[in-house]
Amino acid sequence: MAKARKIPLRKSVVSGEIIDKRDLLRIVKNKEGQVFIDPTGKANGRGAYIKLDNDEASQAKKRRVFDRSFSMEVSEEFYDELIAYVDHKIKRRELGLE
């Protein structure tokens, strides 16, 4: 009998839910202090996850959760970019492109 594969789980910094890693978006702060979206999930640096959901992205901006997660001030432009990226990814999934 085949052994069941483990499903990697991560906690969303916005809702606190523990979710399958594939349903989350990874945000990274690297050694240079740059904060960026990591679509591959493999970039070096400290990672924080949020669910691919418009409400979560809006809450992240409103509560400035990445400022707290990365112990630094994250720009307003980054949060706007995050909301646009999440919206784009959701639309691609609805069209069946991902």
Q: What is the pLDDT of residues 49-71, one digit of tens each?
A: 999 999 999 999 999 999 999 99
Helix, coil or strand: residue 57: helix
Tell me the two tokens of residue 94: 């609805």
The stretch 34-61 carries a mean pLDDT of: 95
- The letter for the amino acid at 58 is S
- Is a pLDDT exceeding 70 seen at residue 82? yes
Statement: residue 80 has pLDDT above 70? yes
- Mean pLDDT for 61-88 is 95
> Is residue 1 predicted with pLDDT exceeding 70?
no
CB atoms within 10 A of CB 19: 16
Dump pLDDT digits (tens) for 2-18: 788 899 999 999 999 99
pTM, two decimals, is 0.88
Domains and CATH numbers, the chain: 9-94 (3.30.1230.10)
Q: Report d(CA 86, CA 3) in Å as an integer.
A: 34
Using CA atoms, how far apart are residues 29 and 94, in angstroms rounded to an integer? 29
